[in-house]
């Protein structure tokens, strides 16, 4: 996509230089006609680019199924490690340390389930599709113990 942007910039500069040369080297009447045609072509090209952008499919790497439509709502498709707060004046502290590691020889838990669609349609709602390793607060002036 970056290549097309550079190509457009170079083409625009070339057209501008050509129009100046036509206006200087040829009579002004011919320059006016050429500029009118170039302007019409540029306008049609702009409309075509806008239509392509509108009709293009969404990016493949976009997170499907995440809806955080409520005011100040948060939706996360995967897990969260840390603090998620939608309240006012929240004074949250992250936990000092995580849980201790399991003793040697303890089987580790299996992989987390794959995140699914999440929806947080209400005001200040929090929806998390994976594991929460931290704090989720939707209230005002939420605090955690030191």
Does residue 19 lie within any of the structural domains? yes
Residues 46 and 19 in one domain: yes
Does residue 9 lie within any of the structural domains? yes
Residues 43 and 13 in one domain: yes
Q: What is d(CA 97, CA 114) in angstroms, rounded to the nearest whole number?
A: 26
Residues 39 and 70 in one domain: no
pTM, two decimals, is 0.39
Residues 87 and 122 in one domain: yes
pLDDT for res 23: 80
Indicate the burial class of 51 (C-beta count within 10 angstroms; 0-12, 13-18, 19 or more). exposed
Q: Quick one: DSSP state of residue 54?
A: H
| Residues spanned by the domain of 17 | 2-55
Residues 46 and 73 in one domain: no
Tens-place pLDDT, residues 92-127: 555 555 555 555 555 555 445 555 677 778 888 888
Residues 10 and 69 in one domain: no
Poorest-pLDDT segment among 4-8, 14-18, 96-100, 105-109: 105-109
pLDDT for res 44: 92
pLDDT for res 8: 82
Residues 93 and 126 in one domain: yes
């Amino acid at each position: 996509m970056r290549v097309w942007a550079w190509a457009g910039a170079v083409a625009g500069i070339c057209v501008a230089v050509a129009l100046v040369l036509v206006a200087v080297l040829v009579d002004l009447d011919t320059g006016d006609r050429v500029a009118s045609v170039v302007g019409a072509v540029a306008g049609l090209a702009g409309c075509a680019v806008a239509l392509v952008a509108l009709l293009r499919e969404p990016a493949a790497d976009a997170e499907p199924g995440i809806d955080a439509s409520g005011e100040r709502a948060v939706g996360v498709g995967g897990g969260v490690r840390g603090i998620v707060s939608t309240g006012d004046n929240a004074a949250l502290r992250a936990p000092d340390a995580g849980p201790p590691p399991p003793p040697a020889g303890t089987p580790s838990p299996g992989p987390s389930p794959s995140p699914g669609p999440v929806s947080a349609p209400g005001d200040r709602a929090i929806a998390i599709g994976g594991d929460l390793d931290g704090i989720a607060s939707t209230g005002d002036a939420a605090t955690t113990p030191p």
